[in-house]
Amino acid sequence: MASALLSFTSVSPSAALSLQDKCKDKMKSGSSFQSAFFGKEKRPLSMKTKSQGRITMAVAVNASRFDNITMAPPDPILGVSEAFKADTDEMKLNLGVGAYRTEELQPYVLKVVRKAENLMLERGENKEYLPIEGLASFNKATAELLFGADNPVLHEQRVATIQGLSGTGSLRIAAALIERYFPGAKVIISSPTWGNHKNIFNDAKVPWSEYRYYDPKTVGLDFDGMIADIKAAPEGSFVLLHGCAHNPTGIDPTPEQWEKIADVIQEKNHIPFFDVAYQGFASGSLDQDASSVRLFAARGMELLVAQSYSKNLGLYAERVGAINVLCSSADAAVRVKSQMKRIARPMYSNPPVHGARIVANVVGNPDFFNEWRVEMEMMAGRIKSVRQKLYDSLCAKDKSGKDWSFVLKQIGMFSFTGLNKAQSDNMTDKWHIYMTKDGRISLAGLSAAKCEYLADAIIDSYHNVS
């Protein structure tokens, strides 16, 4: 009917009036007009009037059944990239998203990844569905990379591993497992933490609270507060820990502090839940970056570990990761794995194969593996070098006596600058530097050439904006 009314614009006034008369006649006598105009359920459609010359027409517009759905706020991290793209200033700098860039600030695909992909093409591998638990060779390789190939927990078959949709999807499976089999159990997470952690547990309907982690006075770890809050949590809580390169702060516990954290978790009968997103990418050493997880495993503790290969292999878009559950027995691991598969089935049925094959080929081939370690060391080294240069620039330019040493004490791709929201806004509005509003910057998106410019912006924002 709407198309019929709109067609009046293309006919003469006399013809249009004739069509209107016919419509009136149909409305008086027949149900066809009423059905077309009001719909099958006799609900009137919303009306808009449109004028053309001397003729006024009524245009029927369907009211959406989704009108009660409000606009969602932009993602606090991904929204930064959208704002950055819209900025035309030549000095603009995107330090929001945690993605590695070259010195020329371009995305980097690892050479070893290209070689692994070429090998896949040479083999002519097919695109058949994977099992629900994912690629078997990937699951074996990722568990060995995490725990160490000679770890007794693997030989005793006490680890249940399934391939997940990178770190986020793996965390989501674990959250569903907690909600289903540990009803009422709380997850305690660091304050601050990666922004998506809260979303994941909220959507899985798992209650959570925070433990103290960041000390704004020292721009360091509030270790005493962390220990006190873990002790105060209800017995049997899940304690979410960042295995290395804490996001967003870049502040990690020392080896001695990890021991004390493990002590308290054992005393309170809590369950450690690690998020390992940067193994090998933080320090450049795969073993060193997995040392926290291995410490807890060596103590005989049951634990959960979510893994991601977005950063350390640059497989951002492949969405490849895993969820591992270390159990006290092989029998328990079999049952846990069966239930994780049951959770995954209605979520996404089975995971993608391409990224999993890349990981399996790189980790399982000694030549590729060694090449990967060299490239990881190169990437981690570039981030360390811009971290050092940023620190040097801050110290050289800022004559106030402020201690900027926290920049060097932090690790990984992020630095928590200590800037508040107003100061972070100044970084963007005045200096065209895009970052998250909690003051986090991604050093992986910084070049040596831009370090002095960034230092000027930080000093200005810190001293001149309250």
Where in the sequence numbering do the catalytic residues fall?
A: 194, 275, 311
Closest CA to 242 of 199, 282, 200, 284: 282
Per-residue DSSP letter, 427: H
Record the tokens describing residue 246, joined without a space: 């804490």
Closest CA to 309 of 125, 445, 77, 116: 116
**235: number of Cβ within 10 Å:** 8
**303-308 and 220-221 as β-strands: parallel, antiparallel, unpaired?**
unpaired
d(CA 322, CA 338): 15
Report the amino acid identity of residue 34.
Q
Greatest distance between any 2 Cα atoms in the chain: 92
Helices (H) and strands (E) in the chain, counts: 19, 15
320 and 163 Cβ atoms separated by less than 8 Å: yes
Contacts of 186 (CB under 8 A, 6+ apart): 206, 207, 208, 209, 233, 234, 237, 238
CA dihedral for 157, 160, 165, 169, sign (positive or negative):
negative
d(CA 303, CA 274): 8
290 and 276 Cβ atoms separated by less than 8 Å: yes
CA dihedral for 262, 264, 268, 270, sign (positive or negative):
negative
DSSP helix/strand/coil, 318: helix
